[in-house]
Amino acid sequence: MKIRAVLRSMDFRQLWSLFWLCIRHLRFVMPTIRGTRKTVATCDELYGKKHHKNGPENAFRHALWNVLIVRRSLDKNLPLDKSLAWAKTITDWHEDFSPNSDLARAMDLHNNRVGRDLIAEFPKESEDFLVGQLLKMVPLSRHVLSVAEVKRTQKEQLKEDNGVLVHIED
């Protein structure tokens, strides 16, 4: 999706909120735009329109989006902790303004965190390596039917120290 199309689809409150969020974090705006464009291009190439549904491809897209926002920020010599915090802030903002069900929102937030956790673990690795790691997670993505299952998956991940993508449609 083109940035102009996204901006046109937003109401005044959303635009105003995004404007002030970006003004407060100006250094992260271009890395976010570049990371977002690369995410969509990669997912279009790999999955066509399937990544717009709520399947494993969507889980991949959300994780990749967070990875690439942080990667592009690190490429601009921005600190890892601030880059991770920014990726959480902007992707959480996106979920707050997206009309999703509670389950879809929980799924997206979970997969966003999986991406941030991955790049936090491998901040110096190449983009190809990170994409490869995420691609390995796609066939292992867990089908969930409730917000409680998403939360249970998160707790299991904390115990096992491994990222598991989740999806709600097959």
- Of residues 67 and 8, more confidence is placed in 67
- Residue 46 contacts residue 64 (beta carbons within 8 Å): no
pTM: 0.91
CA 126 to chain CA centroid, nearest Å: 18
pLDDT, residue 1, reads 52
Which pLDDT belongs to residue 20? 92
Residue with tokens 């967070």: 66
Q: What are phi and psi of 155, to 5 degrees?
A: -65, -40
99: buried, middle or exposed (CB in 10 Å: 19+, 13-18, 0-12)? exposed
- The mean per-residue pLDDT over the stretch 106-118 comes to 96
What per-residue confidence (pLDDT) applies to 161? 58
The predicted pLDDT at position 13 comes to 87
Confidence class for position 2, pLDDT limits 50, 70, 90: low
Kindly state the tokens that stand for 122. Answer: 């491998």
Band of pLDDT at residue 168, cut at 50, 70 and 90: very high
For all residues of the chain together, what is the average pLDDT?
A: 92
Most confident of 48-52, 96-100, 159-163: 48-52
Q: Which of the pair, 170 or 1, is modelled with greater confidence?
A: 170
**Concatenated DSSP letters of 44-100:** HHHHGGGGGSSSHHHHHHHHHHHHHHHHHHHHTT--HHHHHHHHHHHHHHHHHHS--
- The percent of residues in the chain predicted with pLDDT above 70, rounded, is 95
The string of pLDDT tens digits covering residues 53-101 is 999 999 999 999 999 999 999 999 999 999 999 999 999 999 988 878 9
